[in-house]
Chains A and B, each alone.
Chain A
C-alpha cells in the first residue's frame, strides 16, 4: 500500500557524506538532523567540509550523551556513516552505546551476522566502487529471509570519484543492474 521511495533509510548529511540508519526510524531522523547541524556548523567555523572522522566523533559523542542521564533514553538505532574528505573515502559505524569505529566493511540490523560473514569473503582492496555496489546488493538479497522478513525496497547510495566525491543515490541503471545480479545470484544458489 505504501508508495515506493517513501520510507528512506539513507540520508545525506552534507555534500560529501551520508548516513544509513537501522532501528527506530524516528530516532534515526534525530541523529541525522544533529549530524547535518554539526557538519554545517563545522564548515562555517573552520571554512572546510567536516572531516569524516570528526563528524563520526561528534555523532558518537551525541549518541553517548543519551546514555549518561537517567532521564534520557538511549537512541534505538545504529548508523553507518560514509564520507569522502581530504584523506579519501572512509566508513564509520555508530552504535546506540556511543561506540564508534572506522571500518572497511560494516553491517547493522537483523541480518548483520550473516552480512558480515559475506563481507569478509570479499576482497575489498581490489574492488571498484561499481563492483562494490553490485556485491552489496547481492548480500542484502542473500541475508533477507523470505519467510520471516517482510518485503523490502533496496536503497543504495555512494560517495566516490565517480560521483565527484558527493553523496548521491547510485544511478538508476546501476541500481537495476545490481538488483538483477543479486536475483540471479540467489537463483543460482537455490538451484543447488
Chain B
C-alpha cells in the first residue's frame, strides 16, 4: 500500500461516531483518536461538540474542517436563539450545518452527525455525510469505523429503547469499531440529551468489553516487570 503517512499529514479523525434516538431523547457516542498519518496526535479527544444547550454534533473526517464548521454554526445558532427568544430546534441546527457542508463541498472533508432535543419534535438525529446531504434518521453512524457497524446495527437496533439500553448499545458499538478499525481508539465518550438536559459519560479503554482475540490491557510496564517469571524450573 503506498500511503503517504508522514508526521506532517493533516490531522484526521479516522473515527467512529454514532447518534441514536431513544424513547425521550438521543444518545451520541464517539471514540477519541485523532491521527496524523500513523501517529496518534490526540488519544483522548472530544469529538462530541456542543452547538447549543440542547444540540450537539459528532465530528468526523478532517479535524480542522469539522471544528470550523461547528464554530460557524454555533455562532449562527446563538444569534438565531437570541432573535427567536427560545432554544433553536435540532432541525434548524442540522440545516445550518448542511448549508455550509454543501456550499463548500469542494473544500471540506467532514462527515457530521447532529443530535439533540427540542420541545416540538423531541429527540432527533440528523446525518450529514460528505457531500452535504441532510437526512433525518432514527440512528446514524459515521467515520471510518462505521463500516464495521452496519451489520451490527441492522441486527441490534430497535425502535423505542430506554435510555440505558440506548447508551449500552452505543458504547458496545463504538467499542466493536475500535477493535477492528485502526483509525479509531482511545476512550468512548457519550452524551445523552433529553428534556431534562445533557449528561456526559466517559468509558476508559480498559473498562470496555474485550472482543474476539483481544488481549487484557497492560496498565504499566511495572506490572509486567514485577510479574512472576513465566517459567520456573
Q: Which residues of B contact A45 (CB under 8 A)?
A: 95-96, 99
- The verdict on B89 contacting chain A, using a C-beta distance below 8 Å, is yes
Q: Given the complex of chains A and B, what is the CA–CA distance between A192 and B119 in angstroms?
A: 54
Residue B120 is within 8 A (CB to CB) of chain A in the complex: yes
Instruction: Name A47's contact: one of B85, B95, B120 (CB within 8 Å).
Output: B95
By a CB distance below 8 angstroms, the chain A residues around B95 are 45-48
Chain A interface, DSSP helix/strand/loop, else mixed: helix
| Residue pair B96, A46 in contact (C-beta under 8 Å) | yes
Q: Which of A51-59, A115-123, A140-148, A152-160 is the contact stretch?
A: A51-59
Report if A150 contacts B (CB, 8 A): no
- How big is chain B's contact interface, by range? 10 to 19
Does the CB pair B94–A47 fall under 8 Å? yes
Nearest Cβ on chain B to A147's Cβ, whole angstroms: 47
Known contacts A46-B92, A86-B120: A51-B84 contact under CB 8 Å: yes
Nearest-Cβ distance from residue B80 to partner chain A, whole angstroms: 7
Evaluate contact between B85 and A53: CB separation under 8 angstroms.
Answer: yes
Is B33 interfacial (CB 8 A cutoff)? Answer: no
Q: Contact size class for A?
A: under 10
Taking CB atoms, residues of chain A closer than 8 Å to B83 are 54, 57
**Chain B residues within an 8 Å CB radius of A86:** 120
Q: Is B47 an interface residue (CB 8 A)?
A: no
**For residue A57, which residue of chain B has the nearest CB?**
B83
B89 touches A54 (CB 8 A): no
Interface pair B84/A47, CB less than 8 Å apart:
no
Chain A residue contacts of B85, Cβ below 8 A: 53
Contacting pair B92 A54 (CB below 8 A): no
Q: B100 → chain A, closest Cβ, in Å?
A: 11
Q: List 25 A-B contacts (CB under 8 A).
A: A45-B95, A45-B96, A45-B99, A46-B80, A46-B92, A46-B95, A46-B96, A47-B91, A47-B92, A47-B94, A47-B95, A47-B96, A47-B98, A47-B134, A48-B89, A48-B91, A48-B92, A48-B95, A51-B84, A53-B84, A53-B85, A54-B83, A54-B84, A57-B83, A86-B120
Residues of chain A at the chain B interface (Cβ within 8 Å): 45-48, 51, 53-54, 57, 86
Given A48-B91, A54-B84, 14 more contacts at CB 8 Å? A45-B95, A46-B80, A46-B95, A46-B96, A47-B91, A47-B95, A47-B96, A47-B98, A47-B134, A48-B92, A48-B95, A53-B84, A53-B85, A86-B120
What is the interface of chain B, defined by CB distance below 8 A to chain A?
Answer: 80, 83-85, 89, 91-92, 94-96, 98-99, 120, 134
